[in-house]
Amino acid sequence: MTAAPVVRCPACRTKNRVPGAAAGVPHCASCKVPLPWMADADDATFAQVAEASATPVLLDLWAPWCGPCRTVSPILEDLARRHAGRVKLVKVNVDQAPTTARRFGAQSIPLLLVLAGGKVVARQVGAAPARTLEAWLDQALGAVGGT
């Protein structure tokens, strides 16, 4: 697994390292506010990064050549920031993780899933506007008690 990315706390601006896989929810070392949690995974790391997460996972199955995927990506990152402490964004490049893509039946991308306890609780195929994706995510988090 690569080095943990540095995330700036939205409250106090302190720099924090946030690993892709960890127990619990990442919090700022200085002010203790929940931090946005975003990670990449592939076939080898998916179980550790996504399935083992105690936090609901917003899974983005995407590819770099996919225009709609590139359009949705900043929306998903914004949702992860605004839902810090409630959701973990995990991005999986389907070209580099074909086993994971097949497992979730990724025939069209972007394919967005919400996982809770490693199980799919919501599915969204294709790009959608920010408001639509936020409503979809909020409904899914409500269903798993993540609100």
Please report, for the domain that includes residue 61, its CATH number. Answer: 3.40.30.10
28 is catalytic: no
Residue 106 lies in a domain: yes
In the chain, how many domains are there?
A: 1
Can you name the residues that pair with 58 across neighbouring β-strands? 89, 114
Residue 25 lies in a domain: no
9 is catalytic: no
145 band by pLDDT with thresholds 50, 70 and 90: confident
Residue 14 lies in a domain: no
Q: Which one of the listed residues 9, 12, 31, 69 is annotated catalytic?
A: 69
> Phi/psi zone of residue 145: left (φ > 0), alpha (ψ -120 to 50 degrees), beta?
left
Residue 64 lies in a domain: yes
Q: What pLDDT shows up at residue 2? A: 60
* Range name among 18-32, 83-97, 120-134 with the lowest pLDDT average: 18-32
pLDDT in tens, 52-78: 999 999 999 999 999 999 999 999 999
The model's pTM: 0.91
Pairing mode, strands 111-116 and 119-125:
antiparallel
Two tokens, residue 72: 């949705």
- The pLDDT of residue 35 is above 80: yes
User: Quick one: average pLDDT of 120-139?
Assistant: 96
CB 121 within 8 A of CB 141: no
Q: Which structural domain, as residue segments, surrounds residue 127? A: 36-143
Residue 96 lies in a domain: yes
Q: What pLDDT shows up at residue 118? A: 87
Residue 118 lies in a domain: yes
Q: Which one of the listed residues 9, 12, 28, 66 is annotated catalytic?
A: 66
Q: Average pLDDT of the chain?
A: 92
- The pLDDT of residue 132 is above 80: yes
Residue 27 lies in a domain: no
Residue 54 lies in a domain: yes
Distances 36 to 2, 19, 46, 52, 66 between C-alpha atoms, Å: 18, 11, 19, 18, 25
